[in-house]
Amino acid sequence: MNQILDHYQTLQVEPEASVEDIKQAFRKLAKQYHPDKNPGRETSSEQMFRRITTAYQVLSDEQRRVRYDLTRQRPRAEFPNSYLERLRRTQADQKQCELMFQELLNRNLDEGIQIYEDLSDDNQGFLIDDFLGYGDSRDCEFLLAEAYQTNGLFEKAIELYQKLIDDEQETPFFYHFIDEINDRLSEIYIEALIKPRTLEDIPVYLEKIQKLKLSKRDLGWIYKKLAEFYLDRRMTQDARRMVETAIDINPKITGIDNLCRSTGVERRN
């Protein structure tokens, strides 16, 4: 069973900490773990910076802190009549939205997705914003997009990530997260390209990936992976086209010699 992230531990404060204590702890840790302050450790510092920011957003908001404390203090495994269980017994859309949010916070991804899809099926034009506050709606959508991405349901994830970007342009909320959302979209496009579910997916995601400012090294690597994909399916002409494109993009690309021999591409030195 997935554990709830301990936001108090993340910020290194006691559960009885005041809002001011939480603010001070956030400022200190945000400065310490900001990616710009940690050259060479950008990935780990970004992950920690995100955890710190999420913890601050939850604990500095009175209503969200109350809901978090309920979940933190009464785990489902020990208290079958806990907040989550009471929510499960009602069909009210408001409570179902709250339940969905809690399931996602608890990393119960399949359960959260199922509630969202049930609500969408039962309510034409369903919007999370109709039932949760603006901040909770954005957090819920972010977690939902993350759940879809984790489960390999890329189209759903893209739709929600893009909605977050559009909302951010109108009413800023995520601040530090907007770059991460763009990075996640890039990850999805790349993952969908190197492991396409159907041949029809390839031109769609190639078009999307072209709009990203990837390095020649990364873009050449993507075309190399596509060449491998086509060659595995004995689609030699398509594989050859991908090999030639990869070399055109990055003439110094490594690990492509076997593909050149298999597709009959002559690589110039």
What pLDDT is attached to residue 73?
Answer: 57
Residue 33 or 89, more confident:
33
What pLDDT is attached to residue 83?
Answer: 53
Q: Is residue 39 exposed (0-12), middle (13-18) or buried (19+ Cβ within 10 Å)?
A: exposed
Q: Evaluate if residue 131 carries a pLDDT over 70.
A: yes
What pLDDT is attached to residue 69?
Answer: 75
Q: How far apart are CA 26 and CA 8, in angstroms?
A: 11
Identity of the residue numbered 51: R
Q: How far apart are CA 232 and CA 243, in angstroms?
A: 14
What pLDDT is attached to residue 89?
Answer: 47
Instruction: Pick the range with the lowest mean pLDDT from 30-34, 175-179, 227-231.
Output: 175-179
What pLDDT is attached to residue 106?
Answer: 86
Q: How far apart are CA 266 and CA 269, in angstroms?
A: 10
Q: Alpha helices of the chain — where are they, by DSSP H? A: 7-11, 19-33, 42-59, 62-73, 83-88, 93-105, 109-122, 134-150, 154-170, 178-194, 201-210, 216-232, 236-249, 257-263
